[in-house]
Amino acid sequence: MVDISKLVKESFRTLSPYFHGGNVWELSEKYNIPLDQLIDFSISTNPLGVPEKALQNIRQSLNLISHYPDPDHEWLLEALSNSADVEPDNVIVGNGSTELIYLFTEVFIESGYEVIIPVPTFSEYKAATERFGGNMTFINCDPAKNFQLNFEELKRAISKKTRIIFLCNPNSPTGCLHEKDDILRFIGFAAEKNVLVFLDEDYIDFVDDSKRYSMAEYVGDYDNLFVLRSLTKFFGLAGARIGFGIASPTLVEILRRAKMPWSVNSLAMFGAVEAVKDEDFIKKSRLLLQRSKREMLEMFRAIPWLKVYPSETNFLLVEIIQGELTSTQLQKGLAKRGFLIRDCKDFDGLHHRFFRVTVRRPEENIKLIETIKSFSNQK
């Protein structure tokens, strides 16, 4: 018998399992609730779903799936770059933005190099770094300061071995949004130290004044900047898997050469090209979510045993501040009733009293909050 485990590469031997929201499949089977009767507050996608024009284009293109995806997809780069006010050669497309997190890390990280990750944040930065054998320094963001990033602390954490700093703006799961000037100064500082800044803007489309906060316009000035975007959240294409990165043409070219061929499928591309052009959908979604978030915040604030953190995007981080109930117990209890929330106990920097909920349609939010209230802080 071959002991396969001994053949596995060093950095893959100790990979830890990571958890994500959105596993409606498991919940549906476990509690015998049909998929369409579950309300998923755990994954931060747009409650309006996919723009109709994107769906139409996918349907009309079904007969094309016997062909390989267009390897150049200039038409898609054109649409994505227009949507972000950059040039097509600033854009690289990925199989969900997750592919680009892994690609970027693979290209720049190997054993002996280090990444810096302010936490709590999205788990895949850590997972990708582990996979490619890098070391990690975590910077804890303080709940008492609403998880605002301490840029001075971040600067101090940079060492000679630092290659990448992962920033998420707005950050998940905290909802924290950082000012452009602060990030810009930091990118400049990192550039002087030869450090790359990987800036995840997957949730920026949900920010009311997104152009004011996005750093996409600076990729021409800073070669060390990579901006990440996704179409799986705001445009609801989670199952189709598509995202993109924005960077200088030099950085884009390096990544394109390293990327797996045909990783993005044709249907995802056909959906994406229409989705980003749908101005009505964009306006309608922002209006709905503005109102819906305001109401949801008020409802949560009226529950004395919960603390809701300020959020500039489409999800809220909530802490159970009284009683014995844990986020895991709450998550399980809600799951039995057909609601999926994100238990945040596995996030570095959080614990078993934090959970995250997505802002959905007002009537769905009311149902969730009424059900949460019924727990009335009981176990």
Residues engaged in binding ligand PLP (CB under 6 A):
96-98, 122, 168, 172, 200, 202, 230, 232, 238, 243
The distance of closest approach from Cβ of residue 45 to ligand PLP in the complex, given in angstroms and rounded to an integer, is 9
CA 210 → CA 4, 83, 96, 202, 217, distances in Å?
Answer: 49, 12, 20, 11, 12
Taking the C-alpha atoms of 259, 265, 268 and 272 in order, what is their torsion angle to the nearest 10 degrees? 50
The edge-to-edge listing of strands for the beta sheet with 114-119 is: 91-94, 243-246, 225-230, 196-200, 162-168, 114-119, 135-140
* Torsions phi, psi for 3 (to 5 deg): -85, 90
The distance of closest approach from Cβ of residue 232 to ligand PLP in the complex, given in angstroms and rounded to an integer, is 3
The distance of closest approach from Cβ of residue 19 to ligand PLP in the complex, given in angstroms and rounded to an integer, is 11
Residue 362 · residue 329 · CB < 8 Å: no
Token pair, residue 171, equals: 């950050």
The distance of closest approach from Cβ of residue 303 to ligand PLP in the complex, given in angstroms and rounded to an integer, is 25
Please, which residue, 131 or 373, has the CB nearer to ligand PLP?
131
Strand duo 306-308 + 243-246: pairing: unpaired
The distance of closest approach from Cβ of residue 251 to ligand PLP in the complex, given in angstroms and rounded to an integer, is 19
Please, which residue, 188 or 310, has the CB nearer to ligand PLP?
310
Query: Which of 319, 366, 350 shows the shortest CA–CA distance to 138?
Result: 350
The distance of closest approach from Cβ of residue 98 to ligand PLP in the complex, given in angstroms and rounded to an integer, is 3
| CA 293 remoteness from chain centre | 18
Please, which residue, 264 or 320, has the CB nearer to ligand PLP?
264
* Torsions phi, psi for 42 (to 5 deg): -90, -25
Please, which residue, 214 or 232, has the CB nearer to ligand PLP?
232
The distance of closest approach from Cβ of residue 238 to ligand PLP in the complex, given in angstroms and rounded to an integer, is 6
The distance of closest approach from Cβ of residue 324 to ligand PLP in the complex, given in angstroms and rounded to an integer, is 30
User: Per this entry, what is the length of the chain?
Assistant: 379
Please, which residue, 202 or 312, has the CB nearer to ligand PLP?
202
Residue 350 · residue 120 · CB < 8 Å: yes
Which positions ≥6 away from 81 have C-beta within 8 Å? 87, 88, 90, 91
Please, which residue, 43 or 303, has the CB nearer to ligand PLP?
43
Nearest residue to ligand PLP, scored by beta-carbon proximity: 96
Residue 167 · residue 176 · CB < 8 Å: no
Token pair, residue 187, equals: 């990118």
Strand, coil or helix: what is 71? coil
Residue 228 · residue 218 · CB < 8 Å: no
Please, which residue, 240 or 334, has the CB nearer to ligand PLP?
240
Please, which residue, 154 or 168, has the CB nearer to ligand PLP?
168
The distance of closest approach from Cβ of residue 5 to ligand PLP in the complex, given in angstroms and rounded to an integer, is 29
Please, which residue, 81 or 303, has the CB nearer to ligand PLP?
81
Helices 327-336 and 362-375, interaxial angle, to 10°? Answer: 120
Please, which residue, 117 or 299, has the CB nearer to ligand PLP?
117
The secondary element (H helix, E strand) that includes residue 285 is: helix 279-301
Largest Cα span, the chain: 62
In a 13 Å sphere around the CA of 102, the CA atoms on its Cβ side amount to: 12
The distance of closest approach from Cβ of residue 147 to ligand PLP in the complex, given in angstroms and rounded to an integer, is 14
Residue 174 · residue 122 · CB < 8 Å: no
